[in-house]
Amino acid sequence: MPILSAAQLSKLYALQDLAMPGTAVIQRQTLSGDYGAEAGPWVAVGTASCRMGNVDPKPGRETYAGGQVTAVVEYIYTMPVDTDVVASDRILYASRLFEVTSVNNDSTRKTAIRAVTVSLDSR
């Protein structure tokens, strides 16, 4: 017997949606060539309501960008449970581009998808 009924889960989904004021454009890279080995352009595969929050920089995670070493800052996007997003996607949000590094889409009875990302631009 499930812990939550379908009606209870539906109410939780609706409650989550109220806390997602933004819109994310999910982009996926197309593959081309004889065996799909060549990377093609990034195309929008969907949109989702979302909430974005940043995570404190992790010690020891740095990158070299713009001629200097900077901390890697992760951002978490919370989106509706049925959102199609995978770790190789990108998210365009408020004119900023983010690379998805992981997604919690392997658990059951979740009420939202959470995608961990890093910024691909300098803002």
CATH number, position 51? 2.40.10.270
Structure tokens at 22: 């933004």
- Is the confidence at residue 39, as pLDDT, over 60? yes
Q: If you average pLDDT over residues 12-34, what whole number do you get?
A: 88
- The DSSP annotation for the chain comes to --SS-HHHHHHHHHHHHHT--EEEEEEEEEEESTTS-EEEEEEEEEEEEEEEEE-PPPTT-EEEETTEEEE--EEEEEEETT----TT-EEEETTEEEEEEEE-TT-SS-SEEEEEEEESS--
Q: How many domains are there within the chain? A: 1
Residue 1 forms part of a structural domain = no
Domain that holds residue 20: 6-119
- Is the confidence at residue 123, as pLDDT, over 60? no
Residue 43 forms part of a structural domain = yes
Rounded to two decimals, what is the model's pTM?
0.79
Residue 92 forms part of a structural domain = yes
Residue 45 forms part of a structural domain = yes
pLDDT digits (tens, 9 = 90+) for 90-108: 999 999 999 999 998 766 6
